[in-house]
Structure 1
Amino acid sequence: MNTIRIAAALLLRTDGDTLLVRKRGATAFMQPGGKIEPGESSAAALVRELEEEIGLRVSPECFRPLGRFEAPAANEPGDTVSAEVFVLDIGDTAVTRAAEIEEIRWISPDDPGDIVLAELTGRHILPAWLRMSKT
C-alpha cells in the first residue's frame, strides 16, 4: 500500500457553492488538485494542478489552509491519499474542465446531492469546511 501526497483546493464561489471534479474513467467526485512532485511544495503543486485541470491561474498567497487529511485513494485501489487542503475563494471566475477532467460540478457543501463523493471529500474535506465556516 502506497501513500500518495496530494494538494487539493476547496474552491468557493460567491454563493458558497464549491467545485468538484470527476476524472476520466472515475466515478467519484473530488476537489481539484493532484500529486505533489518531488521537491515541490504543496502550494506550488496546487497552483500547477488548478491550471492544468480547470484552467484557473492563481497565486498561492490566496490560499487559506483547511487541514491535512488522509483517506483511501478514490482512483488507486489499496492506496491512501494524504492531502494538504486549501480554501480558495474565486468569486464568479469561470472555470472549464481540461486535462483528465471528465466533468465539473458546483455543489452546496451542506447538500452535495445525489453524486458519488470520494471518501476524502465526503468524510473529511466537506465536514471540515462546514465546521470552519460555522465558527
Structure 2
Amino acid sequence: MPDTNGSLPTAGLLVIKDNRLLLAYSRNKQAWYLPGGKIDNGETALESIHREIREELNLQLKPDLLQYYCHITALAYGEERLMMEQECYLYELLDQKIVLGSEIAAVQYFDRETYLQEPAQVEGVLKAFDKLEADQLLH
C-alpha cells in the first residue's frame, strides 16, 4: 500500500547469470520486472524480499547468498505520480530451481538490448541496469 507522500516501498531481487539480469513477467501489469514486490506494513525490506520470492518463484532464499546492493527510486510502472522506492538485493541462484507462482507468467534473463526490444519497459528495471553497468556487474 502506498504511503501518504505518494511512494510505494518495495524490495527487488537482482540475479545475474551470463551477464544477464533475471526478470519476472507479471501477469497483472503485463511487463517484465525485478522479482520481488511491495513491502507490507510492519515488514522490513529483508522480510519482504524473502516473502515475495517465496510467493513469486517458490524459492527459499539462502541468507548467506543474499546481499543488500542499492536503493532505486523510479516512477511506478503504469502510474503518473506514484514513486517506487525499491531496496535491491543481489542474489546468487546457484542450483536452486524456480517454480512460478500464480502472479508470474515467466522468468527470463535479459541484457539491456534485449529488454529494450520488449513492448513495455519499467523505469526501475532500467535504473537497475544503469547501476549494475556502472558498477561493472553487467557489461
Q: Give SS of 1:129's match.
A: helix
Q: Which residue among 36, 40, 43 is the counterpart of 2:43?
A: 40
Q: Give SS of 1:25's match.
A: coil
**TM-score, normalised with respect to structure 1:** 0.85
Aligned residue for 2:70? 67
Q: Give SS of 2:52's match.
A: helix
Number of residues of Structure 1 aligned to a counterpart in Structure 2:
133
Unaligned runs of 5+ in 2: none
Unaligned runs of 5+ in 1: none
Percentage of pairs with the same residue? 21
Q: Give SS of 1:94's match.
A: coil
Q: What amino acid maps onto 1:34 in structure 2?
A: G
Q: What amino acid maps onto 1:130 in structure 2?
A: E
Aligned residue for 2:11? 7
Conserved? CA contact 2:28–2:103, under 8 Å: no
Q: CA RMSD in A?
A: 2.2
**TM-score, normalised with respect to structure 2:** 0.82
Q: Give SS of 2:81's match.
A: coil
- The Cα of 1:12 is off from its aligned counterpart by 2.2
Conserved? CA contact 1:68–1:85, under 8 Å: yes
